[in-house]
Amino acid sequence: MKVRWAARIQDLFTVSKLLALSIIIVTGIVLLCMGHTENFEDAFTTQKTLTATDIALALYSGLFSYAGWNFLNMITEELQDPSKNLPRAIYISMTIVTLVYVMSNVAYFTLLRPAEILTSNAVAVTFADRIYGYLSWIIPVFVSLSCFGGVNGLLFTSGRLNFVGAREGQLPPLLAMIHVQRLTPVPAILFTSFLSLIMLVLPDLSALINYLSFVQWLSVAASILGMLQLRRKRPDLARPIRLPAIIPISFICVCCFLLVVPLIAKPHEVGVGLVIVLSGIPVYLIGVVWRSKPQFFLTSYESVIITCQKLMHVVSAD
């Protein structure tokens, strides 16, 4: 699939998602005007004392809902004039997403009690069943389209991450190859799809979010620390996008909170995340560090690469 097609598909499903959420938001506004405010009374009271761990794990799930804010950074090569369009896209998209998500949750609370929201597998579907009657089937359709759009966006962006990693010599060179006609990183996209299928083996979605959120925020924190280190050691480098130091420093503090607190309170779940990270070390040592590989290994490896090239119709991007 060409990049242009992937972008058009993403636009289509993004519009579908916004249309569905707009229907829910308008319904919520109507219900508010009709006086359905009982679920907003004592909204900030809790049945137990909140701890730092509760807040950190809640942020894992909450931030997972906003996943996508960092994906634009992975496809800067696909953007025109990224020094201007990248910050603009992030500012606009984050503002729209925040407003839409907050208003959607307000709409849910006009009809559903907190306990119903917590026990629902799909809050939008539960909301639709309660209010739209025989037209409630529309929302599940939009939810399915939204999921498809999310998968499309994830494959489009994460595939570029693996592609660049392979191009820099950190991943197998096959992942740095592109289709001979469509010029898309097919091996990198298939590799991302394979990893996603492995994750589906886990039955508990909440546990999976906690496992991978720790890995994600560890990676984000390391990236920001690396950026600060480069700013200190290489101040002469060209920086088309530059932020005041207080912003990345504040962000690092938030990342530390999201990493340290769950590490103390939920060592099992964090331990699984650490195992996921550490599992890459032997692969890195064998694939990158170990350069004096025996001839039979190199021959077999080259044979596998050539076979995969023929199957996927890919060549080196160079």
φ/ψ of 58, rounded to 5, equals: -65, -35
Inside any domain, residue 292 = yes
Inside any domain, residue 63: yes
What pLDDT is stored for residue 1 in this prediction? 53
pLDDT of residue 295: 86
With a cut of 80, say whether residue 124 has pLDDT above it: yes
* For range 155-162, the mean pLDDT: 80
Contact between 155 and 193 under an 8 Å Cβ cutoff? The reply is: yes
Q: Identify the pLDDT of residue 104.
A: 92
pLDDT of residue 218: 85
Percent pLDDT > 70 in the chain is 96
Q: Is residue 106 one of the residues assigned to a domain? A: yes
Strand partners, 177: 316
Q: In total, how many domains does the chain have?
A: 1
Does any domain span residue 306? Answer: yes
Of 175 and 71, more confident: 175
Residues 6+ apart with CB under 8 A from 106: 25, 28, 32
Q: How high is the pLDDT of residue 29?
A: 92
Calculate mean pLDDT across residues 118-135: 84
Residue 172 and residue 304 in contact, taking contact as beta carbons nearer than 8 Å: no
Domain that holds residue 165: 3-37+51-201+279-316
> What type of residue is 221?
A
Q: What would the mean pLDDT of 291-298 be, rounded to a whole number?
A: 84
Q: What is the rounded CA–CA span in Å between residue 217 and residue 214?
A: 5
Percent of the chain scoring above 90 in pLDDT: 8
Q: Does position 17 have pLDDT exceeding 60, yes or no?
A: yes
Asked if 196 and 248 touch (Cβ cutoff 8 Å), the reply is no
Q: Is the pLDDT of residue 128 over 60?
A: yes
Per-residue pLDDT band for 30 (boundaries 50, 70, 90) equals very high
- pLDDT band for position 3 (cuts 50, 70, 90): low
Asked if pLDDT for residue 221 goes beyond 80, the answer is yes
Q: Quick check: 166 pLDDT over 90? A: no
**In this model, does residue 264 exceed pLDDT 60?**
yes
Domain annotation covers residue 92: yes
Confidence (pLDDT) at 26 = 94
Has residue 148 been placed in a domain?
A: yes
Phi/psi at 24 (5° precision): -65, -45
- The whole-chain average pLDDT of the chain stands at 83
Q: What is the mean pLDDT of residues 134-154?
A: 81
* Residue 223 is assigned to a structural domain of this protein: no
- 253 within some domain: no
* Interval 16-24 mean pLDDT: 88
Other CB atoms within a 10 A radius of the CB of residue 172 amount to: 20
CA distances from 48 to 45, 58, 62, 172 (A): 9, 15, 20, 50
Interval 54-108: pLDDT, tens? 787 777 777 777 777 677 777 777 778 888 888 888 888 888 888 998 999 999 9
